[in-house]
Amino acid sequence: MALIVQKFGGTSVGSPERIEQVAQKVAKFHAAGDDIVVVVSAMSGETNRLLALAKELSNKPSLREMDVMIATGEQVTIALLAIALNKIGVPAVSFTGAQVPIVTDSEHGKARILTIDEAKVQAQLQAGKVVVVAGFQGVDEQGNITTLGRGGSDTTAVALAAALKADECHIYTDVDGVYTTDPRVVSRAQRLDRITFEEMLEMASLGSKILQLRSVEFAGKYNVPLRVLHSFKEGPGTLISTEISTDKNEDSMEQPIISGIAFNRDEAKLTIRGVPDTPGVAFKILGPISAANIDIDMIVQNVAQDNTTDFTFTVGNLDYDKAFEILQATAQEIGAGQVAGTTSIAKVSIVGVGMRSHPGVASSMFEALAKENINLQMISTSEIKISVVIDEKYVELAVRALHTAFGLDAEQN
């Protein structure tokens, strides 16, 4: 018997029929003797409908009242799922975030979980019931309803799993696991049986949309094994845990060096030329960018013989215009030359813990891209990741070439 936390997103509970399908899936685990806690999102489209209602009344509604309103979406879903479970003979009880309680700070719209009192949930599990908990929400120490922001239901599920010391946390999505890369780009992409928290964090931060970054960070911190599964198709999914299995019966020689390839088209590059090569100049350039709440990703600095430097960095596409304007003002202030930029770039990254013990991975990557005549504009490395910036029009060619070069292609029948 295991204690499992299961999370279903908005599309999985988007209609009464789908809620009944979820209830049947949960019932199978309950019948097998497992203790089950289910975390659900609002039905798909419901949060947007509520936001539209608020906009009809005010362009700047109170964040506190917005949380009170938006939290009702999940409240509807938990009640419906509990009704569906009880209907098929599975005893179930629903809890809002405040009823658990899941205590958060007071940052409305983007609250962070502080503590979870698991006593009520444990008592209901011991009574043989499935506990259905509203995702995405909590309550602050003053009793105000709060919401956790984007990806909040994933975070709720992982936090509950940590508090309950669950054996696994199942995240149900519209895909049947984590793949070596996007199957829409590489038809021979493979589902991974296992992946480490480290690798999944890199994949999530580099463009993979399977799991919210915050929930992976939380799972890694509290060592909660995550399993990504398809909402309505049977299968083992992908297990995300501390380490790849070291079972002696497994042939470790078959473990790939690279676990996956991520890519992100939402990148822009900025260059400020002729920068005086003096101490503190990097701060003078990047300080105003950071002060404008713009995230900086990759950075390259090239020093010329005339004691000037070209300073290049990347930001998100949406921040490009704002960053360009700031950089032009900085160039005048520090006596630099021309400011140039482009949004026609993409970042392609290879990720794998196997890099730590296998030299030559970078050269293999560069060789594969060179064979396709793909020019590398920027390079960034870490222990388990190598990222390159290339022309956006070559991104799919690059991903396919690297997928093949590192032996990730599935065998065709």
C-alpha dist (Å) from residue 309 to 232, 280, 289, 305, 337? 55, 13, 18, 9, 10
47 known member of a binding site: yes
Q: From CA 350, how far away is CA 356, in angstroms rounded?
A: 13
179 known member of a binding site: yes
7 known member of a binding site: yes
Q: From CA 55, how far away is CA 52, in angstroms rounded?
A: 5
Q: How far is CA 338 from the centre of its chain?
A: 37
CB atoms within 10 A of CB 230: 15
**Side-chain-facing half-sphere of 80: CA atoms under 13 Å:** 20
* β pairing state of 194-196 and 35-40: unpaired
Q: Where are the beta strands (DSSP E) in 174-324?
A: 194-196, 226-230, 238-241, 260-276, 296-303, 308-316
271 known member of a binding site: no
CB atoms within 10 A of CB 249: 5
309 known member of a binding site: no
174 known member of a binding site: yes
Radius of gyration, CA atoms only, the chain: 24
Binding-site residues: 7-10, 47, 74, 173-174, 179, 184
Binding-site residues for substrate: 47, 74
Binding-site residues for ATP: 7-10, 173-174, 179, 184
